[in-house]
Each structure stands twice: as structure tokens, then as C-alpha cells.
Structure 1
Amino acid sequence: MSIAIPRRPQLSEDVAGSIRQRIVTGALPPGSFVRIEEAAAELGVSATPVREALVALRGEGLVEQVPHRGYRVNELTAQDVDDIFWLQGTIAGTLAGRAATVVTGEHLDHLSTLNDGLRDAVARSDTESVERHEFEFHKCVNKIAGGMKLAWFLLGAVKYTPRLYATDTAWGEDAVRSHEQLIEAFRRRDVDAAADVMRRQFRKWDIR
């Protein structure tokens, strides 16, 4: 008996991520249309992963299907953006507060190394490296906290963060300072300060 091997889901997820970023950054404004064939040609993929991606984005409320015309981009309101960053900051702050109670000297050294890498990436305007070090820093904090379910929800919310922040030198410099403050709060095992620093950093991601 033959067994059908399913197509890897990563491709449609990557396509969804690309289109999602264009929506949240305004590159695809409300009311504009995403047509499957055109998007497939632009992204260099077949129509199938684009179709799957748009179905997923429709489920997220980012697009709606219009018969015979394609998928129309829905409006992302100011309240929507505020809600997204509130959710991110609330979850991240809770995880940072938990991490402050269990952090070790080894953890602090690793976080400092990651922040040094972020500082260097910002100075070099290396967008890819900025994104990588920022992601790894927060991933490390979440791992220290041990709240993997909360971290999973946070990762879902971060999908809606415009990646334009990584190209903003002022934002990058501020993130480095914020990380330094967080590490210092961890050294003091100051739960409230750690949570507050993290919440404020996520609020600063709102660059509308």
C-alpha cells in the first residue's frame, strides 16, 4: 500500500508571513487586492501555497475573499495595533518577571553576550543580524522563565510586528539600552522592574 507524503507546510507559512508583513507595514494598504497568480509569480512559488496562505490570513481577519476578484486586504485599525502591542507587552512582561526569580550567573553572561552582538549589529546596520540577536535574546529570557505555553502565544502575537523596526538605528540603540536595564533588574532579582522594562520595550515596537 502506498502512503502519500504530505507537502511540507513551511512553504505556505513562509508565504503567509511575507504577505502578513506587507499588510502590517502598509505595503499592501486596506482595500488593495492580493491575487493568487500574481502573488505566486512575485514570490516565485506555485499557486497552491499562496492559496493556502491567503486562507490562513482570512482566518486571521487580515484579508477577505471577494468572488472573481481575489482577496482584499482588511483595515488594521489603530485599536488593533494597540491591542497587539498590549498583548505582546503583557505576556513578555510576565515572562520576564518569572525569569527574574530563577536567573543564574550563567544566564546573565549569555544574555550580555547576545546584547553585545545586538549592539554590534545595530552599529553595522546589519538588519538580518539585528533580527537574529533580538529574537535570540527574547527566546533566552522566555526559556529562563520556563513558560513555554505563554512563549508560544507571544510568538504568535509577534507575527504582527512590522519588521521595519530592525532597520531603525534609533530603535536598535534603544533596544540595547532596554536589554541592559533588564539584565540589571535580573541581577537584583527585581521582578517588578524586569516586567516593567520588558513591557516598555514592546510598547516601543509600536512605530506607527
Structure 2
Amino acid sequence: MTTQILDTSSGSVMRHSRCFLSGFRIDERQQRQSLGELNSPRLRSQILGLGVMLSTDLINETRVICGLEITSKKRLLEILAQLLASAHPRLDAEVVFERLLERERLGSTALGHGIALPHARTKDVTEVIGALVQLQRGIDYDGADSDEPVDLAFALLAPEAANDEHLRLLAQLAGRFSDPSIRERLRQADSPSGLLQALNISDS
């Protein structure tokens, strides 16, 4: 299992998509079909389009923390779980945390370049929700990019049924994080609104 960051090459699209799909219990035939669709030129151009807006239905300032000071991956996942759980009264932060941990046991969700994209699924949501944390100092995340600590983490919580919409969303985020200028703006941001603007997230 690989955690390389997505770029514009078809091989990288396949590698990152496979990492995401491993967090969902779908059969091998479905996985091959989804990977094949993600590798098509048409869909790849859609998911890698950095100009595409992400909606605040996915994330808003209440689920963003800027300049957090922590020292461990466990604490980072706990905070991301709390932010995700705040999106809906049915969600329990401890349960979300356990789901994120389960996914990490399958393989690290570190993408490289100091970025992590932890994700999990639950029956308690019907739409994908996100949370974003910017750290003051990078932490060891046990990822492929072991020499570069993680200081930016975007968590996703998806419904139980994995589908192409969720795959496209994950790939869009990974595409944004693969852009050095976006990573620099994220690290320079000094407010939740600044972080969301760097990721091109809007109300529309």
C-alpha cells in the first residue's frame, strides 16, 4: 500500500486512489472499476482541476484550526475526530477517532510534503464532511515521507457506501495538496478563513 501524493500522471492517480479505496470494504471487481474510471483522461482532468471550487457543505471555519501546537499523531487524530463530530449531533468523537485509527492501521494516510489526509466512513452521515488542522510544528506521522513531519492534515468522514463522488473529492483534495504554491499558502495562512481560501473553498 502506498501513500504517495497525487500528481497529474496516470500512475500517481492510480496509486493514490488505491490508497483511498483500501479504507472501504468493496470487492476487487468494484475496486478495479473505480480505479479504471479515475485513470480515464476525462475524469482525471476533472479531479485534478485546481480551479474547481469546493463547497462549504464539505467544510467551514468551525471545523478548521489554525496554528495548533501538539506533538503526536494520536492527538492530531483525536482533534480531527472532535472537529468532524461537531458537524452532526449523531456523531460521537470517540467513535470517529476509532474509525480514523482503523483506517491508519491499514496504512498511513500521509501523502508526503508534510500533508496527511486521514479518512474513514460511518453510517451516521449521508454526505462527506471535512476538517482541517494546521500545526505550528510538524509531527511524526509514520508516513512514506518520513523525513518531513506532517504539519497540515485534512480529515474526511464519508457515508458507509463508497462511491465515485467520494473518490473524486479525495482526489481533488490530493490534487490541491500536490501544488507547491497551495501548500505554501496553507502554511502562511494565519486564520481559518485564510486556510479555506488557500484551498479554494467557497459558499457557492
Measured against the shorter chain, the TM-score band is under 0.3
Query: Which has a greater percent of strand?
Result: 2
* TM-score (norm: length of structure 2): 0.27
* TM-score (norm: length of structure 1): 0.26
Q: Which has the larger radius of gyration?
A: 1
Query: Which has a greater percent of helix?
Result: 1
